[in-house]
Amino acid sequence: MSLLDDYAVECVLITKTWVADPVGGYVPVWADGMHFSAAWEFQSAPEVTVAEQQGVNRVYNIYVDKTLNLDYHEYFRRVDNGQTYRVTNPGTDRMTPKTSRLNRRLIAVEKAELPTTTEETNVSGSSGT
């Protein structure tokens, strides 16, 4: 048990599948996937609040188990408040060392809405840049 465990919030990965629509195309369908815990680091500086009011998405850092691999642009939802987030940095290079007992990965995420059109959902998850 650690302090990070005390701040952990239950989250659920949102997976996308494609389903045929009545006019011969495909539409994305979102479904709940695997559950995981994340400890949230909130940034409350006045500059962050002003930027958010001007339309800039607030970026959050979350701490998850090192073995959890979330890809760039994957979506998940916090169970406690229902807010959806998108991964902006999967944290492949931001992990605690093997000798650490924390066993954590630092992932950057932003608030986001689930895409509803084919163009918005056709995002490659292979690149973190």
Q: What pTM was estimated for this model as a whole?
A: 0.77
- Which residue range is the domain that position 61 belongs to? 3-117
On whether residue 66 sits in a domain, the answer given is yes
Q: What is the DSSP letter of 102?
A: S
Looking at the predicted structure, is the pLDDT value of residue 11 above 90?
yes
Supply 66's token pair.
């090192």
Neighbours of 63 (CB within 10 A): 22
* Total domains in the fold of the chain: 1
Q: Return the beta strands (E) in 1-129 as ranges.
A: 8-20, 26-41, 59-65, 75-78, 84-89, 104-111
Residue 123 placed within a domain: no
User: Is the CA virtual torsion 88, 13, 8, 82 positive or negative?
Assistant: positive
CATH number for 15: 2.40.10.270
Give residue-wise pLDDT tens across range 74-125: 999 999 999 999 999 998 889 988 888 888 999 999 999 998 765 555 544 4
